[in-house]
A and B are shown apart, each in its own frame.
Chain A
Amino acid sequence: MEFDFAEEQPKLLMLMYGLIAFVAVVGGLLLLLDAVPSWFARRREAQLVAASANGAPPIRRPKRGESGFAFFFMLPAVLLLLIGLVFPAIRTTLLSFMDGGSDNWVGLRNYTWMFSEDSIVRVLINTLVWVLLVPLLATTFGLLYAIMVDKARFESVAKSLIFMPMAISFVGAAIIWKFVYAYRGEGQEQIGLLNQIVVSFGGEPKQWLLDSPLNTLLLIVIMVWIQAGFAMVVLSAAIKAIPADIVEAARLDGVTPWQMFWQITMPSIRPALIVVVVTISIATLKVFDIVRTGTNGNYDTSVIANEMYNQSFRYGQNGQGSALAVFLFVLVIPLVIYQIRNLRQQREG
């Protein structure tokens, strides 16, 4: 059987409907905002002309504020945010105090379950390991690389190569690395790079993704591989923004590269550094695709986002899934508050 393009046509038709809807909604909204006020303006002008022809004083109307425009400009975004985020988030919070089928209130039972069930405690510990290691490693690597590449030639090419994993999906990245970790029995020729390296140093090949806790660390490598590029790009921009005269003055002063790093570079890029660490931490807390593609959360590798998906969409335990989602939310809040305070200081300073 051959690939049949005709079967794909309903999809393209649906895509076309989507695009038509887009043009209709956005175009319609702009047209409405354009046409209606000018119609009112014309009518008012006509009234004024008529009034002045009668010799009567023109009717004074209170000048309408701009709220009308603001309302229509904001309407689609606010409506979608309410339907898609605000109400669902409130509902999830409520569901987290109910049982699996969302029928009865159970108080804090889902939360006590979370901290007492061994498998879930394991999930929480894994998440903690992720969120400690990934920002640390990715930022450190990104920073070192940004400093090193700053003086190098072919800077943009090298940076593009490091940055490229950002364009690859987490699923694609997980497949790339699963291939690196691939295993063939002892004596057979290895097809995975990691096992080949181990074997060529005289070691025994291993099924890397089956051994806890090593498998979690190997999955973390994937996330670091992706996020380091982000850290590098942001920090590199921050390093380039350090005023040249400061660097020059320090150099004339005869500081060592070590002193230069700790006394000039680090204080100057501190705000960018915090942004990078916090952003990567938040992304890491929500990591889902890598674990799902890498091990499907088996062999003690699951993290909160995976367990939330499993509880809500596979086991039908909405209460427990919602409790995990709320816990994730609670973990993110302090990070974001810290980031906002940091940004505000930066603006005022």
Chain B
Amino acid sequence: MTTTTPAMPAGAQATTKRSTAAGRVRTRLNSRTATVVSIIVALLWTVPTFGLLVSSFRPEDQIKTTGWWTFFSDPQFTVENYQEVLFGTSSSSGQLASYFINSLAITIPSVLFPLAFASLAAYALAWINFRGRDWMYIAIFALQIVPLQMALVPLLKFFSTGVTLGGVTLMPAWDLVDEQKFAQVWFAHTCFALPFAVFLLHNFISQLPKDLMEAARVDGATHPKIFRTIVLPLITPALAAFGIFQFLWVWNDLLVALIFAGGGNETAPLTVRLAEMAGSRGNEWQRLTAGAFVSMVVPLIVFLSLQRYFVRGLLAGSVKG
């Protein structure tokens, strides 16, 4: 990132250094205030989540009649909410275990496919000479701005009725039932992820040293070989960054799942079920609190353990351009 350097007034060096003892004390006090204030704000920021977490371990009648802060004066602890919301099989209980598996089944392929296709395309755009390469890159870059709302209706129609051109069926309807509908969701997520994925990975791949590529070419390595043996190992951090990004996006997505997965427990992910519970059983807090945490635990683990990669990807995607 280049930054503009503001012009320094002349004579900056002329003023005497005021790094006296008092000055140092002041700096330290400043940094202490900063530490205290920033920690307090950070804790306040976490209070809503913390309240929900505490509540999810309280018995139902307690949650519904007293605030979660009374937990500290009158601690009562239970995991029954989790048991009920995960494994209970009455229609009102949540059955989240089933939806949890759906979320996994949706997310894993939806991360892998765009990762593979985008890195192939990004490599070609960066290191293979072909006609129209620049235009292709600009086109894919520009597709990032198309809101996925623009694609929903026709894509759904594509799955349900196929493609016919002048009476000739180019592509039959997919006619998927139950868990086969996962394929639709994978397909949709892969398409929607590609522009950003190509853009992000292209940023990394195009910055690999040119000498390395040329040396490999001189040694007679073909493009697929260079891609597999040189490029892929070198861009692992970028792959990780995009992988985490896409994982969080797909796991947390509601709109795409709502439209392409349907609402039943055969295919719908956790988010769809939770949104439905928040609407129809908005006062069943013993289920909503536990349910919300069931849906959060995986992304939180991924996020906390791989935060470094995620931040790096975020910065590369948004700032470096």
Q: A residues within 8 Å of B by Cβ?
A: 1-4, 7-8, 10-15, 18-19, 21-22, 25-26, 29-30, 33-34, 37-38, 65-67, 69-71, 73-74, 76-78, 80-81, 83-89, 91-93, 95, 145, 148-155, 157-172, 174-180, 182, 188-193, 196, 225, 230, 233-234, 237-238, 241-243, 246, 249-250, 252-254, 263-264, 267-272, 275-276, 279, 282, 285-286, 288-289, 292-293, 296, 305, 308-309, 312-313, 318, 321-322, 324-326, 328-329, 332-333, 336, 343, 346-347, 349
* Shortest CB distance B142–A (Å): 8
Chain A residues near B102 (CB-CB < 8 A): 11
A87, A168, A296: the one within 8 Å of B296 (CB) = A168
Query: B154, A88: Cβ atoms under 8 Å?
Result: yes
**Chain A, interface SS category:** helix
Q: Which chain B residues border A1 with CB–CB below 8 Å?
A: 89-90
Establish whether residues A10 and B43, one from each chain, have CB atoms under 8 Å apart when the complex forms. no
- Contacts A88-B151, A293-B275, A318-B153 supplied; 17 other A-B pairs, CB < 8 Å: A2-B89, A4-B89, A18-B182, A33-B224, A69-B128, A77-B194, A85-B150, A148-B38, A172-B296, A175-B289, A179-B48, A192-B67, A246-B8, A269-B3, A272-B1, A289-B255, A329-B149
Closest chain-A Cβ to B155's Cβ sits at a distance in Å of 5
Report chain A residues within 8 Å CB of B88: 3
Q: Which residue of A lies closest to B112 (CB)?
A: A22
By a CB distance below 8 angstroms, the chain A residues around B289 are 175, 179
Interface pairs A-B: 5 shortest CB-CB: A84-B191, A169-B252, A73-B124, A167-B303, A343-B321
The DSSP consensus for interface residues of chain B is: helix
Cβ–Cβ < 8 Å partners of B48 in chain A: 176-177, 179-180, 193, 225
Per the bound structure, the CA–CA distance linking A34 and B228 in Å amounts to 10
Hey, what's the 0/1 contact readout for B105-123 against A, CB within 8 Å counting as 1? 1001100110011101101
Nearest chain B residue, comparing its CB with the CB of A26: B116
Residue of B nearest to A41 (CB): B222
| Chain B residues near A (Cβ < 8 Å) | 1-6, 8-9, 12-13, 15, 17-18, 30-31, 34-35, 37-39, 41-43, 45-49, 51-52, 55, 63-69, 86-90, 95, 97-98, 101-102, 104-105, 108-109, 112-113, 116-118, 120-121, 123-125, 128-131, 133, 136, 140, 143-155, 158, 178-180, 182-183, 186-188, 190-192, 194-195, 198, 222-225, 227-228, 248, 251-255, 258-259, 266, 271, 274-275, 278-279, 282, 285, 288-289, 291-292, 295-296, 299-300, 302-304, 307, 311, 314-315, 318-319, 321
CB distance from A314 to the nearest CB of B (A): 11
- A305 and B136 alpha carbons, distance in the complex (Å): 29
Q: Is the CB of A346 within 8 A of B2?
A: yes
Q: Given B144, B151, B188, B304, which contacts A160 in the complex, CB threshold below 8 Å?
A: B304
Q: How far is the CA of A89 from the CA of B150 in the complex (A)?
A: 5
| Contact status of A15 and B149, CB under 8 A, knowing A22-B113, A151-B34, A176-B292 | no
Report how many A-B pairs have Cβ atoms within 8 Å.
405
Closest to B87 in A: A3
Q: Collect the chain B residues with CB atoms within 8 Å of residue A15's CB.
A: 104-105, 108-109, 182
Docked-complex contact A270 and B4, CB < 8 angstroms:
yes
Contact B3 A70 (CB under 8 A): no
Q: Would you give the shortest CB distance from B81 to chain A, in whole angstroms? A: 13
Q: Are B34 and A148 in contact, with the CB atoms below 8 A?
A: yes
A84 lies within 8 A of B188 (CB): yes
Which B residue's beta carbon lies closest to that of A288? B255
Contacts of A19 in B (CB 8 A): 108-109, 112
Question: Residue on B with the closest CB to A182?
Answer: B285
Residues on A with C-beta less than 8 A from B55 are 179
Measured in the bound complex, the distance between the Cα atoms of B66 and A279 in whole Å is: 40
